[in-house]
Structure 1
Amino acid sequence: MFITIGCFATVLLIVLCVQQYLRSKQKFYPKKVITEFESKMFARLKEAFPQYHVLAQVAFSALITSQNFKIRNQFNRKVTDFVILNQSLDVIAIIELDDPSHFGKEAEDAKRDAMLHEAGYLVLRYTDIPTVRHLKKDIH
């Protein structure tokens, strides 16, 4: 009787342990495209520039390129917070919103901005959400 219970318990334990490895595990999970802070900035940009298109989380590779593979690697995984396009879909400005996670990363941010400036873009950086008036003044 004890041997039967022991065997049953062992088989049950093995099945439970192996089962977690046999089940397919979810690999991908949804995540918010922008943070709550960025959502407020998006709304402010739409308010300030209703005639323009506001894009969020745009890859640098959609904005700049290079024939040199090593140079492309410098911006390959970088993303900018917002891009403002006119009706012809030309870039008017690139907006970076620096929350507290950017503190201590000023040198890295300066390199990112330099790449975009070299390509001819206006890059504006804000630590707080500016007023509509301030945005219009900065971009026009």
Structure 2
Amino acid sequence: MSDSNSILFFVLGCIATLALIALIFKHRFFRQQKYLPKRVITPFERKMFLRLKEAFPQYHVLAQVAFSALITSEDYKIRQRFNRKVTDFVLLNASLDVIAIIELDDPSHIGKEQEDAQRDAMLHEAGYRVYRFTQIPTLAQLRKTISG
């Protein structure tokens, strides 16, 4: 093999090695983003959040609260029933005690009445008051329903 062929193979080997390094670098440092931001609540829920804040300025309004932050069980199988469930809103008083749990049922809840009833039953058993609304109530309706 001549010197010119050896140089050619050496140069081609270097180019291939650099291309491989560039590919690894690109994959490791410029890969497609896996995690994207997501709004915590929908526009419909946002209206309810603002209405709750207006109706109950003395309370804290929490959105998208995990059931596991509200209830527990010593039985692992029972915990699995609520492990991934989330409630729309929780009202807390100044002592951070739960005053009410509010669910806002948009059209996606149609046909899920049984599932909603089971969710409510879990929360009721734990001692919580659960209120469901299919539309945004007025300030007066909210105050009457939750305070009265």
Given the two structures, how large is their TM-score scaled by the length of structure 1? 0.84
Is structure 2 residue 32 aligned with structure 1 residue 28? no
Q: 2:137 aligns with which of 124, 130, 136?
A: 130
For the aligned residue pairs, the C-alpha RMSD in angstroms reads: 1.7
The number of equivalent residue pairs is 125
Is structure 2 residue 82 aligned with structure 1 residue 75? yes
- Gap runs ≥5 in structure 1: 1-14
Residue aligning to 1:59: 66
Instruction: Tell me the amino acid that sits aligned with residue 31 of structure 1.
Output: K
Instruction: Tell me the amino acid that sits aligned with residue 89 of structure 1.
Output: L
Q: 1:93 aligns with which of 82, 89, 100?
A: 100
CA shift for structure 1 position 139: 1.1
CA shift for structure 1 position 65: 0.2
Q: 2:112 aligns with which of 105, 112, 121?
A: 105
Residue aligning to 1:5: none
Sequence identity percentage: 73
- Secondary structure in 2 aligned to 1:55? strand
Instruction: Show structure 1 runs of 4+ deviating over 2 A.
Output: none
Instruction: Tell me the amino acid that sits aligned with residue 28 of structure 1.
Output: Y
Cα distance in 1 for residues equivalent to 2:120 and 2:103: 9
Is structure 2 residue 126 aligned with structure 1 residue 119? yes
